[in-house]
Amino acid sequence: MRSIGLALGLLAVVPAFAGTPNGILEGYRAAGAATVSAPRGEQLFTSRHGSDWSCSSCHTGNPLARGRHATTGKDIAPLAPAANAERFTDPARVEKWFRRNCNDVLGRACSVQEKADVLAYLMSLR
């Protein structure tokens, strides 16, 4: 229940910042993310977490490139905002995909801190 409350709280905070990856990141900061760390986000993104999957299993080790879903084979547009301007611009969509993908990879919801770190990592890529 706590993660649902955090997600709802984030959606209440983020609309004021919505529309850009920086805005989404500022929303995570406002929702309680402490010091945001791109290296910590990269570690979370590339590490396997108790299963055969990591975020990079589908989004590749280079989030500037197109990915492919590990199970379905479905094509995935680049995840990094520098390669795909549509990424991380809609708070509800961002939360939907974090919820789904964190459950698949981690077996649980991501914390606001983890989301902020991963987003900082993805924003650092050029």
Given this model, what pLDDT does residue 123 score? Answer: 97
Alpha helices in 15-110 (DSSP H): 21-30, 38-46, 56-59, 91-106
Domains in the chain (CATH in brackets) are: 2-124 (1.10.760.10)
Residue type, 45: F
pLDDT of residue 18: 67
Residue 115: name the closest of 4, 5, 2, 10 by CA: 10
What pLDDT digit, counting tens, does each position of 6-58 carry? 444 555 544 555 689 999 999 999 999 989 999 999 999 999 987 788 999 99
Q: What predicted TM-score, i.e. pTM, was given to this entire model?
A: 0.85
